């Protein structure tokens, strides 16, 4: 996903909408902090969590490396930082 505020790219961002609006957009943590009181965090277009192929725990996509599709419940899967050490 690409942040609508600064253009940063990440596997998962907060999907938000203005409290008095309908349009959905993604924001990184830094951009979200500046407008947090004016937006709602809503369900986004894609998954934000996946499973570790090694330990099986659910993790944020930001914490998984070597991410691919087809994990448990069709969620993305990868290797968490704990298992990659």
DSSP letter string, 46-84: S-SEEEETTT--EEEGGGEEEEES--GGG--EEEEHHHH
As separate numbers, helices (DSSP H) first and strands (DSSP E) second, the chain gives 2, 7
pLDDT > 80? residue 65: yes
Residue 18 bridge partners (DSSP): 39
**In a 10 Å sphere around its CB, with 0-12 CB exposed, 13-18 middle and 19+ buried, how is residue 23 labelled?**
exposed
Residues with Cβ within 8 Å of 30's Cβ and at least 6 positions away in sequence, in order, are 5, 6, 8
Name the most confidently modeled range: 21-25, 37-41, 46-50. Answer: 37-41
pTM: 0.63
pLDDT > 90? residue 21: no
pLDDT > 80? residue 71: no
């Amino acid at each position: 996903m690409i942040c609508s505020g600064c253009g940063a790219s990440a596997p998962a961002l907060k999907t938000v909408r203005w409290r008095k609006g309908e349009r959905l957009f993604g924001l990184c943590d830094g951009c979200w902090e500046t407008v947090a009181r004016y937006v709602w965090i809503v369900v986004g277009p894609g998954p934000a969590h996946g499973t570790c192929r090694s330990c099986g725990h659910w993790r944020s996509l930001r914490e998984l490396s070597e991410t691919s599709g087809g994990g448990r419940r069709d969620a993305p899967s990868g290797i968490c930082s704990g298992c990659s050490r």
